[in-house]
């Protein structure tokens, strides 16, 4: 049976990641494209084999699509998805699934009201190297610490809305950090975060030389002076079970290559994955997965995969996910955990920043 899919939002992610894969899959037909920009609609409708061209998600009905792939700007993710879900249209929602725990609650209510399932974009979980890392977990003993980092050399998005807090919901933490937390937190099982210490950096976001040159950006370039999100977030989280989680998400840095690191430290060993998430061509080399035990280091063989293979797998899985009633509620639950951690990180960083400003205003203590 062919899965009829509508693509809602025709920006870079839809044009570059989702539309080519949806059109190229033999079990999927793109029946509608939705965007307020008539030029983008016309171009994408032609690429999709003369799909219906709609200017608003409100025009999409269950008789047109079995699934809506929603790739609108971040601030519209939850509102657009809620409207579709309430009308009984299943939704595949790009990350970030929501920008607050309140939005997660809205999504849960919409999913229940419309009886349609919400599926979340979780590309990193479909990577072969991440899955190989997951298979090592039972051999690592009790998990004590998790190290997460996605650091780009130059990778500040050039699209205008992406670097404005009111539209994006945040900077590198919401963009890259979502992938890291969405990958690692489920490995720990049900957790509650008890402690957080975090800081944000803004050293690169307003410099044009730090922009991602590998992204095709048709939108109006961002005004560097108007960029009000972080380019770097660093945080240490401690769960209620005593597991520490270190997170670093950086759009730009002094590094030569774009690198992603996921390390799981357990009582019986440490597994370390070094790779590059995403599509950047500025890669250090092939992914590597090593296991450290009692001073010995073993390398886990990995098949080399071209960038984007994880998205191919997720597209191939869409029909099964939509048809599985057990999926209902899972995406929202996972998103609530991820955005809950992000909210705590931003809150901690805001308090740290306020404390730093207050200390600068206080006179130095000179003693007696």
| Tens of pLDDT, residues 297-329 | 999 999 999 999 999 999 999 999 999 999 999
Same structural domain, 116 and 191: no
The dihedral over CA atoms of 266, 239, 247, 280, expressed in degrees to the nearest 10, equals: 80
Same structural domain, 295 and 147: yes
Q: What is the pLDDT of residue 218?
A: 45
Q: How far apart are the first and last CA of the chain?
A: 83
Residue 329 domain-assigned (yes or no) = no
Q: Mean pLDDT throughout 14-32?
A: 97
Same structural domain, 86 and 135: no
Any idea what DSSP says for residue 294? T
Compute the distance between CA of residue 283 and CA of residue 124 in angstroms, rounded to an integer: 16
Same structural domain, 97 and 112: yes
User: In this prediction, what percent of the chain has a pLDDT beyond 90?
Assistant: 86
pLDDT tens per residue, range 226-250: 789 999 999 999 999 999 999 999 9
* Torsion angles phi and psi, residue 333, rounded to 5: -60, -45
pLDDT tens per residue, range 74-84: 999 999 999 99
Same structural domain, 38 and 143: no
Residue 298 domain-assigned (yes or no) = yes
More confident residue, 224 or 328: 328
From 262, 296, 311, the end of a domain falls on 311
Same structural domain, 160 and 99: no
Q: What is the pLDDT of residue 197?
A: 98
Compute the distance between CA of residue 338 and CA of residue 162 in angstroms, rounded to an integer: 19
Same structural domain, 202 and 230: yes
Q: What is the pLDDT of residue 19?
A: 97
Same structural domain, 291 and 178: yes
Residue 297 domain-assigned (yes or no) = yes
From 311, 330, 345, the end of a domain falls on 311
Scored b (16 or more CB within 10 A) or e, 167-185 reads ebbbbbbbbbbbbbbbbbb
Q: What is the pLDDT of residue 352?
A: 85
Which CATH number fits the domain that encloses residue 47? Answer: 3.40.50.720
366 pLDDT band (50/70/90 cuts)?
very low
Residue 176 domain-assigned (yes or no) = yes
Same structural domain, 132 and 230: yes
Residue 336 domain-assigned (yes or no) = no
160 pLDDT band (50/70/90 cuts)?
confident
From 90, 123, 156, the end of a domain falls on 123
Residue 180 domain-assigned (yes or no) = yes
Q: What is the pLDDT of residue 150?
A: 98
Compute the distance between CA of residue 331 and CA of residue 116 in angstroms, rounded to an integer: 12
Q: What is the pLDDT of residue 226?
A: 79
pLDDT tens per residue, range 163-197: 999 999 999 999 999 999 999 999 999 989 999 99
pLDDT tens per residue, range 40-76: 999 999 999 989 999 999 999 999 999 999 999 999 9
Same structural domain, 111 and 186: no
pLDDT tens per residue, range 192-221: 999 999 999 999 998 777 888 766 554 455
Q: What is the pLDDT of residue 209?
A: 76
Residue 219 domain-assigned (yes or no) = yes
**Whether the predicted pLDDT of 292 surpasses 80:** yes
Same structural domain, 290 and 173: yes
**Whether the predicted pLDDT of 261 surpasses 90:** yes
* Mean pLDDT of all residues belonging to the chain: 92
Q: What is the pLDDT of residue 365?
A: 42
Secondary structure class of 297 (helix, strand, coil): strand
Query: DSSP string of 110-140?
Result: HHHHH---EEE--GGGG-HHHHHHHHHGGGG
Which CATH number fits the domain that encloses residue 219? Answer: 3.30.360.10
Residue 163 domain-assigned (yes or no) = yes
pLDDT tens per residue, range 104-126: 999 999 999 999 999 999 999 99
Q: How many CB atoms within 10 Å of residue 141?
A: 13
Residues pairing with 119 in the sheet: 92
Residues pairing with 292 in the sheet: 270, 297
pTM above 0.85, yes or no: yes
223 pLDDT band (50/70/90 cuts)?
low
* Structural domain count, the chain: 2
Scored b (16 or more CB within 10 A) or e, 196-234 reads bebebbeebbbeeebbbeebebeeeebeeeebebbbbbb
| 82, 65 Cβ separation under 8 angstroms | no
**Whether the predicted pLDDT of 20 surpasses 60:** yes
100 pLDDT band (50/70/90 cuts)?
very high
Same structural domain, 167 and 181: yes
Range of the domain at 138: 128-311
């Amino acid at each position: 049976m062919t899965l009829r899919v509508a693509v809602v939002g025709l920006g870079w992610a839809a044009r570059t990641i989702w539309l080519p894969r949806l059109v190229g899959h033999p079990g999927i037909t793109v029946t509608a494209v939705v965007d307020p920009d008539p030029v983008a609609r016309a171009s994408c409708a032609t690429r999709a084999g003369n799909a219906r061209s709609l200017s608003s998600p409100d025009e999409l009905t269950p008789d047109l699509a079995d699934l809506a792939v929603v790739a609108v700007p971040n601030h519209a993710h939850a509102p657009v998805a809620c409207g579709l879900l309430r009308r009984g249209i299943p939704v595949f929602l790009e990350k970030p699934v929501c920008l607050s725990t309140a939005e997660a609650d809205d999504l849960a209510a919409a999913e229940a009201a419309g009886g349609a399932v919400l599926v979340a974009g979780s590309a990193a979980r479909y990577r072969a190297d991440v899955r190989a890392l997951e298979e090592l977990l039972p051999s690592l003993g009790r998990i004590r610490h998790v190290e997460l980092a996605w650091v780009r050399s130059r990778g500040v998005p050039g699209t205008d809305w992406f670097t404005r807090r009111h539209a994006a919901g945040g900077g590198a933490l919401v963009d890259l950090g979502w992938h890291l937390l969405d990958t690692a937190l489920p490995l720990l099982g049900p957790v509650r975060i008890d402690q957080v210490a975090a800081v944000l950096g803004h050293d690169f976001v307003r410099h044009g030389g730090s922009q991602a040159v590998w992204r095709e950006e048709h939108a109006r370039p961002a005004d560097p002076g108007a960029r009000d999100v972080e380019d770097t977030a660093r945080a240490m989280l401690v769960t209620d079970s005593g597991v520490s989680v270190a997170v670093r998400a950086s759009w730009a840095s002094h590094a030569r290559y774009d690198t992603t690191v996921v390390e799981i430290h357990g009582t019986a060993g440490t597994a370390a994955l070094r790779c590059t998430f995403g599509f950047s061509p500025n890669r250090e080399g092939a992914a590597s997965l090593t296991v450290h035990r009692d001073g010995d280091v073993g390398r886990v063989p990995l098949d080399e995969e071209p960038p984007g293979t994880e998205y191919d797998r997720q597209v191939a899985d869409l029909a099964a996910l939509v048809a599985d009633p057990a999926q209902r509620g899972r995406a929202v639950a996972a998103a609530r955990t991820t955005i809950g951690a992000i909210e705590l990180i931003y809150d901690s960083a805001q308090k740290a920043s306020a404390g730093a400003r207050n200390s600068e205003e206080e006179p130095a203590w000179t003693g007696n």
